[in-house]
Amino acid sequence: MRIGAHVSTAGGLDKAVDRGLALQAEAIQIFGSAPQSWALKPHPPETISAFRAKAADAGVSDAVFLHGVYLVNLATENEVNLARGIDSLVYYLDLAGAIGAKGVIFHVGSHKGAGFDAVLPQITAAINEMLRRAGNDAWLIIENNAGQGNQVGGNFREIRRIMDSVASPRMRVCLDTQHSFASGYDMATEAGIAATMAEFGSEIGVENLVAVHANDSKTPLGAAADRHENIGEGYIGYEGFRHIVGHPVFRDVPFLLEVPGVERQGPDLENMGRLKSMRAARSE
């Protein structure tokens, strides 16, 4: 189990690897562009080669993930926004290929009341188009969401139905511990985690789990709110994370922190240390 974090690319893509090193991260996740914007500016080739060289030196080459922009909504009824979302994810998949990232983690979006069945064909067509246009082997990784309102992908059944509908070997899944908890999957008790991961296994298949967003939760079980907390300081708590880290399904899956940080500056050495000490305790 590699333990890593989301890191900023401010100053250039390769700077993210420097920040990862400072956190002693064994895996990193980055944005390829400003996450609250549609703007996509190309990264200069020298930045891309610097990224690859630094990632190799840092030993994280095989554990780099991109996270798509937050504006993407493949379930939207707005055709302009749908096209923007597709273009954005194509750009991200191409970038993943260029920098040697495993793939692109993204949120499917919201159907705004239309219902999952009504939007599934559009989501399927959008994903098929992206995979066709970005013709490399980078994964497209669906992240489960916190189950707010009309979000698509808050339960494992919907994710499985998208994967079945697309039927591409490039589809994978990222499990966010906070989002799972918020959407009603108990990640705070040993029995709850066992039941959650058994359901994940039967619906999605554990072989499709390629990343975990390791975040504690500011809000209680089933609160349907996307509110990350530092490891051990939220409703999942130290006990919950000890059981998560110890669960066999996660044994070889990279953990990526997206926590506020003790100093509210994002993932930090303290949160990294908490997960690493749980991992050390597990292997005894």
Residue, CB closest to Zn ion: 213
Judged by beta carbon, residue 176 or residue 229, the one nearer Zn ion is 176
Least distance between Zn ion and beta carbon 258 (Å):
5
Question: What amino acid occupies position 26?
Answer: E
Measured at the alpha carbon of residue 179, what is the angle toward residues 195 and 194, in degrees to the nearest 5? 15
Judged by beta carbon, residue 192 or residue 267, the one nearer Zn ion is 267
Judged by beta carbon, residue 124 or residue 217, the one nearer Zn ion is 217
- Segment interacting with Zn ion (CB under 5 A) among 9-17, 49-57, 88-96, 218-226: 218-226
- Segment interacting with Zn ion (CB under 5 A) among 3-11, 43-51, 205-213, 244-252: 205-213
Largest CA distance in the chain: 54
Told to check if 216 binds Zn ion by CB under 5 A, we report: no
End-to-end CA distance of the chain: 14
Least distance between Zn ion and beta carbon 226 (Å):
4
**Burial environment of residue 282 by CB neighbours within 10 A (0 to 12, 13 to 18, 19 or more):** middle
Q: Is residue 166 within 8 Å of 202, Cβ to Cβ?
A: no
Least distance between Zn ion and beta carbon 228 (Å):
6
User: In the window 163-192, what residues touch Zn ion (CB under 5 A)?
Assistant: 176
Told to check if 213 binds Zn ion by CB under 5 A, we report: yes
d(CA 242, CA 235): 13
Token pair, residue 11, equals 């100053």
Name 99's Cβ contacts closer than 8 Å, sequence gap at least 6: 13, 48, 51, 52, 55, 64, 66
Of positions 26, 226, 229, 268, contacts Zn ion by CB under 5 A: 226
The binding site for Zn ion (CB under 5 A) comprises: 176, 213, 226
